[in-house]
């Protein structure tokens, strides 16, 4: 099991945009994740960037998670 720290969250309608410390290769659209209490969530989308403004961002990922997510860690 891999643990990623949550850096930022923001509500997007009924879902949550989350920035985590962890490579984008760890995440895929539709995978299940857990919060720190073991509650399951679904990753709706993994964000991408063009690399121009996000130097050193290979260790960060942008995710859209179904529902309200407020954990400080993600378990994959």
- For residue range 21-51, what is the model confidence (pLDDT) as tens digits? 988 888 999 999 999 999 999 999 998 655 5
- Break the chain into its structural domains and give their ranges: 3-50+59-75
Instruction: Identify the architecture of domain 3-50+59-75 in CATH.
Output: Beta Barrel (2.40)
The Cβ of residue 60 has, within 10 Å, a number of other Cβ atoms equal to 18
pLDDT at 25: 85
Q: Which stretches of 1-76 are assigned E, i.e. beta strand? A: 3-12, 15-21, 32-34, 40-46, 60-65, 73-75
Average pLDDT, the chain: 88
């Amino acid at each position: 099991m891999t643990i990623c720290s949550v850096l930022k969250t923001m509500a997007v309608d009924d879902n949550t945009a989350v920035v985590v410390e962890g490579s984008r290769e760890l995440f895929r659209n539709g995978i299940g994740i857990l919060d720190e209490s073991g509650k399951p969530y679904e990753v709706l989308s993994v964000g991408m960037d063009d690399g121009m403004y996000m130097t050193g961002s290979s260790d960060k990922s942008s995710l859209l998670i179904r529902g309200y997510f407020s954990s400080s860690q993600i378990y994959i």
